[in-house]
Structure 1
Amino acid sequence: MRSISIMLGGITLLLPQLSFAHLVTTRLGEFYSGLAHPITSLEHLLPWLALGLLAGIQQRNTSRSVLLWFPFTVATGAILGGWLPGPTWIQTLNLFFLCNLGLLVLLALRLKQAVFVLLAVVFGFTQGFANGVNTLQGSDLLLYVCGVTSAAYILMALVTAVAFCTYRRSAWGPIALRAVGSWMLAIGMMYGGFLLFAPGYALTGSN
């Protein structure tokens, strides 16, 4: 019986089938593209991290509000970004957000809930618009937007939770978060210098 099993296993190995590294035979390719797009580009990832850190510094109810408003406005912006051509100033606006979010984390500033929600809404919309893809339509665009929105929720939930606990449950937490905020601010200022003196330069390193 064992020899028969070995023989059948050998025959199976001699009859290979096509295999794919990605789910190209399904309709989920655009979803994974949307999921990876904002978290593999530093110009999107860094401001998202900065917002999550800032949310972790806020009061509990204010921190939770970002989990609703940020993904919702990212989805709205991504849908409009898929239908409309992206303005040239959107990158500059997102850089402005990176610098200011980094500064707010550095100062460990607690905002009123209405002010923080407004900040998350405007920032989420501009980030979603910047992640929009004009070449996708119909269900492809829908899957892509779902991916981007999932990335926004997952990343914001994880970063906010870690920042919230770190800031309150360890003596070094506030210092560490403020140090990271200073790095975010410094990166935004350096990136702004590259944009001013080398307009073709991007944070991803492409020309």
Structure 2
Amino acid sequence: MSGRVEKVVPLRTPLWPAGHLPLKGGERLSGRSEGGISANLRRQRAYRAAASVVDPEIPAVTIEDLGILRGVEMEGDVAVARVTPTYTGCPAVLAIELAVEAALREAGFEPRVERVIAPAWTTDWISEEGREKLRAYGIAPPAKASNSIRALFGETEVTCPRCGSPETARVSEFGSTACKALYRCESCHEPFDYFKCI
């Protein structure tokens, strides 16, 4: 039986409390499965498992880096992961949901994945670490202001992720995926994708 749930779940606040870090490798849980610290550790362990899933289109970043993973909660023995696609028609969302299911199952949880489409994902949710990983992978990260008219309409300065030059030119509004534009550096002459501000 698949743990995926095809429904819209409105989400008003992030599910992961600020200041709480998931478990690191090698940490162990106590024998108790309910109540107190043990329940929180189970949720952290489930979150860490889901957060380790890489984006199938950009394997250099995790779904946590991209802000796609909204949170993980425990409902009894079921780990409920909530993910938000980068856009409604994103072809990778099913692959992401299946990978989250598999990661949770491998970590010893009965998984359920819920797709959350409100509020809509924004490039502002990409972490600083995620932006650096994109750059290292050869993708120029988006401007960090989705409320900027200039950034939304592609009028922002895009720096080459390879040589750092601001002398770049857009070749095509669409790159390797719909959420990226194709650019060329005028200094090093290398083509690269720019992750569009959404």
Query: Is TM more than 0.5 here?
Result: no
> Structure 1 or 2: larger strand share?
2
TM-score between both structures, scaled by the size of structure 2:
0.23
Larger Rg: 1
Higher helix share: 1
